[in-house]
Structures are given as structure tokens and as C-alpha cells.
Copies of this chain bind each other. A is one copy, B any other.
Amino acid sequence: MELSLVLDTNGSATLQAQVFEQVRTMILEGRLKPGKGLPPSRLLAERAQVSRNTVVLAYDRLVDEGYIESRGTAGMFVSLVLPDDLMSIGGRADGDRQNGVAKNGEADLLGFDGLPVGVMYPSHARPKYDFWLGRPDANGYPVRAWRRILVRKLAASGFSLTEYGEPAGLEELRVAIADHLGPARGMAVDHKQVIVTSGSQDGLNLICRLCNVTHRPIYIENPCYQGAAYLFKSLGHKLNPIPVDDHGLIVDNLPRDQGGIVYVTPSHQYPTGVTLSLERRMKLLKWAEETSSVIIEDDYDSDFRYDGPPLTSLAGLDRGHRVLYVGTFSKSLGAGLRLGYVVVPKCVSDAARNAKSQMNNGQPWLDQAVLAEFIETGAFDRHLRRMRLIYKSRRDHLRTCLEKTFGGADLKGESGGLHVAWRPPEGSPPAHEIQQRAYKKGVGIYALNSGGAHDFDGTASDDVLVLGYSSLKESDIEKAVKRLHQAVVGPAPDQCKKVS
């Protein structure tokens, strides 16, 4: 087959890197379809007038990263399942997509600038046992209670289905959320400060509109949540990554002299799972006041806390109207519901309402009405208590299996949320390699620069992987960890039966 590369011998990138990038781009843009054969390295080397070794090394890296696979003497073929399907970010996640579109004349005419997909979606290529992060248990959804309320609300819909509703959200729901946040997150909130959104992503967009993000420096955790990083990028930002350690964002690394907007996930850092210490929370708030900065607190999975009480949210500690709080029902109920909220300082609640009406004029009435009653009647709290028990026992079982199978388990972020960060034993392969090997065995487990996470300049350590355990039955966790062990070091001892 033909495969035309354009190599720049004076370019900053090595020839090998250029071959790798261009082939990868063709694959991601679908110009090279899965299963398609690649030209033998010798042939391609001749055509591109580079040493054969350059092509061989580029091919090796493409194999390592799962884009192509060797079928022995038959040669190289585009992988049937691309790592980017698996991670659901694809070329879209980095520059490739832009290049792809930039090459597209018609797209150019539209003046389009490529935007990355920042948030995971179900993939046809999902592995059998997928520890993808932040997936609630499908069987846990309160379908019966939901239907009961749904049918009643629908029967009494009146004008609600045909008229525009309040863009900031249904008042009952805003009140219910405000009441929930008091005990749950230590926030004293008036319902007017609550804006109902279609989830965290909609909430982040709302905040970007409110805070003039395009004109202020943005500081973001490193590694961080992809959906946020890609959104800020898409709005034309240079992001300033601030490293995260075992106590969360290293607040001292924020510039003393210049304020801006800080994006943090204090309850359960995404992806590392660590909790921002109280001392740092106070420091961060102080810094925000001194530098007239805004803090975006993304509290995506704080509904689930297993050991000890949760730390009060930054918004709950905030006295200077500095914190914009982002909450979602995507983890506590389900992402298919598309409901979340932001809590803003009183002084901008009108502005937030107006921004929401500019964006999409609010969420569907029926969904809001049902959720409002579900929360008011206490059914939501009962649901959370039930799910906490299920998720806690899944977390415990994952730990037990890892300990038994690997003779110990170095875990972080266990005390809450829906995922943990795991450091494999000394001498294991690098995280990204474990991810690839495990995937080939049908197990989804993610290095810090994937799994819905983003790593700036590859600074995230490559010896940690994240596992979301909430959607896997204990028997599956057991099988998955065995396969994982095979992927890492060979067959596992059959000894991680559940201790109960």
C-alpha cells in the first residue's frame, strides 16, 4: 500500500518522531483503517528516504502505544482496537485533530478550530473488565422510585412541558440542592446561589463565561481532570500546571504576585485521589483573597466517603466569595441523567442565571421535577447510603485482591470517591506499558496521563495507575486482578477469594 509521509529534515522533531506522528495521525483521522496493513519498514524507508532503522523504531513505538500490531511474517497492521478508542480521547485529545481538520479545506472555510473531546463516553472498544473512572453501578439506579415520581409529575405537568422554565433551574430543585449541601458539605447556601446545569462540564462552561477566563491566568492541578483542561484550552488558554503531592495541590507553587483562576478537585483529586489538606485549603483561600483570585472547586464524587467524615468543602470555608462550586449527579445517580449544579457567590447569582440562559436556557423540566422530589423525600440520601455500602465493599475487595495477588498494595485515595491510585510493586513495568498489556488481556486500568486524566508535559509519574472500582462486581474485580497480574508478572496465585 501507499503511505506518503512529508518529513522535514531541518525540523526540530527527529525523523523517527515525525514518522511516528504522521502515521499515528493518519490512523486517528481514519485515513488508515483498523486492520489495514502497513508497508514493510524497508519499503517505507526507501520511499521516505530515511534509514530503515528510523522506520523500525517508529513502528516499535506505534506497537508499544497500541496503534499498530505485528503479525509476524505477515507484517504490521493497524490495531483493530485503538488505544484512543479505549481512552475515548483520541487524536481529538491532542494536536492531531486540529492538524487533521486544518488539512481539511472545507473545514477551513468554516473557520473551524478543532476542539478536543474532553470527557469519556461509552466505547465499543471497552475492555471486558474496565476500571474506567467514575462509573456508578448500573444496577444501583433507583429505577422504580424514579418511575413512580416521573409518572406523577408528568400527569401534573400543566404548562411546564410547553413553556420555558427558569434558566437557573426549577426552584424546588435549587432549594433541595441547597438543603442537601448544608449537612453534606458544610455549605450555608441560599437556593438563589444554586444554578442547575447539565453536569460538571456545563457548570465549568458557565463559570468560564462568568469569570472572564480568557483574560485571566488559569492554574490547574497536574495531573488533572481532562474535561476541565481541554475546556480551558479550547477557550484559548495557556494553562499553568501546578503539581500535586500527597496533600493535594502544592499551594506554595502558586505565584505570590499574580492572581487568576485556580481549578481544583480538593475532596478526591482527579486522578491521584489525594485529599487537599485543611492547612492547604486555608492557605489557598488566603492566597485567593490576597491576589483577588477565583477558585473553581470541582467536587465531582464527594458524595462517597467511606472512612471518616469528609473535609468541609472550600466553598464551605470560603468567607471572601472566592469559590465557585461545581457539583454533579453523574456519580451519585448517573451521567445519563445530565444533571449537575454550580453554587456561586450571591453577588453573581443574577449574572450566573443570565449566563445560563445565554448558553442553553436551562435543563428539562421533567428531569428536574423528578430529581427535586427524589431529594426532598429523602430517597436520595437513602440511595447514597445504600451505594456507599456497595462501593466500600468493592473498594475493600479490590484492596484484598491486590494485596493477596501482588503480596501487598500501595494505594492512595481510598477513603472516598469511586477510584483509587495504585503503585505496582518495585520492578514492575512502567504504568503506560502495564495499561497496554492489561488492555490486551481485557482489563482497563489507566496510567495518570489517560483514563480521563491529563498530564502536562509528561511530568506525571509513570509508576502509578488509577482504577475505578464502582461499576465492577466483586467476582469481576477478582478475575480482573488475576488477569492484571498475568499482564504484569505472569500467572497469579488463586488465593484472593473474598474474606467474608
Contact = CB atoms under 8 A, between A and B. Distances in A.
Nearest to A339: B364
In the assembly, how many copies of this chain are there? 2
Which bracket fits the contact residues of A?
Answer: 35 or more
A468 to B, nearest CB: 12
B361 A201 contact: yes
Contacts of A118: 357-358
Contacts of A348: 101, 106-107, 110, 112
A287 to B, nearest CB: 14
A5 interface: no
Nearest to A154: B147
Contact of A159 (B138, B157, B358, B366): B138
Nearest to A357: B117
Nearest to A260: B111
A361 B198 contact: yes
A43 to B, nearest CB: 31
A109 interface: yes
A367 B369 CA distance: 14
B121 A135 contact: no
Nearest to A114: B351
A18 interface: no
Contacts of A161: 138, 141, 143, 333-334, 336-337
A363 interface: yes
A182 to B, nearest CB: 22
A321 interface: yes
A115 B351 contact: yes
Interface string A128-168: 00000001111011010011001100110111111111110
Interface string A174-200: 000000000000000000000001110
9 contacts: A101-B351, A106-B347, A111-B294, A112-B351, A122-B163, A165-B335, A209-B234, A336-B365, A339-B364
Interface of A: 92, 97, 101, 104, 106-107, 109-122, 135-138, 140-141, 143, 146-147, 150-151, 154-155, 157-167, 197-199, 201-202, 205, 209-212, 215-216, 227, 230-231, 234, 292, 294, 321, 330, 333-339, 345, 347-348, 350-351, 353-355, 357-367, 471
Give 9 nearest A-B pairs by CB, closest first.
A162-B334, A106-B347, A336-B365, A202-B360, A111-B212, A161-B336, A338-B364, A161-B334, A164-B335
Given A107-B351, A121-B357, 8 more contacts: A111-B212, A114-B351, A138-B158, A138-B163, A143-B161, A161-B337, A162-B336, A339-B364
